[in-house]
Amino acid sequence: MFFKTKPCPRCLGKGSVDDADIKRLNAELLWLPGMCAYCEGKGVVGVRVNVAPETLYLNMDVPKRERRALRRGNRGALSRAEIYDQRSREFLIHMIQRLEELEGDHQALAQEHIEELKLHMKGKEPKEQDKVAVLEWCQQLSEYAGSKL
C-alpha cells in the first residue's frame, strides 16, 4: 500500500534542518541544526500531515510516539504543543528583556543561568561543557537581540 507524500515543508525535502530553515521558521535560539523531526529525516511527509512546520514542540527531543500523535492531529498532543511553543517564546522574550536590564552584558546573564543550574543540581557545580554552552547561547542571544532592535 502506497501513501501519497509531499516534500517536507520544514526541511524543504533535505531531511535535515539547517540554519536557513531555522531562520525561515522563526526558531532562532530555540532549535539547532540537525535531523528534521517533521519528516524524521525522510524529506517527505504524508499529504494528510497538517502540523505547522514552525511548531517548536515537534522536535527530536520529543518521544517518537508523541511526534506521531502530533502529526496525526491528536488533540492532547496539539494542546501540549501549543503550551510548549507559547512557553518557549515567552522564555526567549524574558531572556531578551533580562539581557536589556543587564545592558547587553551576556556574560552576566550566563553567570545568572549557571547559578540557576547549581540550584537545580542541589549545589553541585555544572560541568565545564555546560557552562560553555550557556555562555555561547547567551552570546548568541545578545547578537540576536541586537539585530532585532
CB 31 within 8 A of CB 73: no
Residue 29 binned pLDDT confidence (cut-offs 50, 70, 90):
very high
Whether residue 48 is predicted with pLDDT greater than 90 in this model: the reply is no
| % of the chain surpassing 90 pLDDT | 72
**Cβ within 8 Å of residue 34, ≥6 positions away:** 16, 17, 60
Neighbours of 143 (CB within 10 A): 13
For 124, the grid coordinates are 553541585
Alpha carbons 63 and 15: distance in angstroms, whole number? 18
For 59, the grid coordinates are 522536535
For 34, the grid coordinates are 540537525
Query: What pLDDT was estimated at residue 149?
Result: 47
**Cβ within 8 Å of residue 23, ≥6 positions away:** none
Q: What DSSP designation does 57 have?
A: T
Q: Which range, of 51-55, 58-62, 141-145, averages the lowest pLDDT?
A: 141-145
Whether residue 37 is predicted with pLDDT greater than 70 in this model: the reply is yes
Whether residue 2 is predicted with pLDDT greater than 70 in this model: the reply is no
- Residue-range domain boundaries for the chain: 1-86, 102-149
CA-based torsion, 102, 106, 110, 116: positive or negative: positive
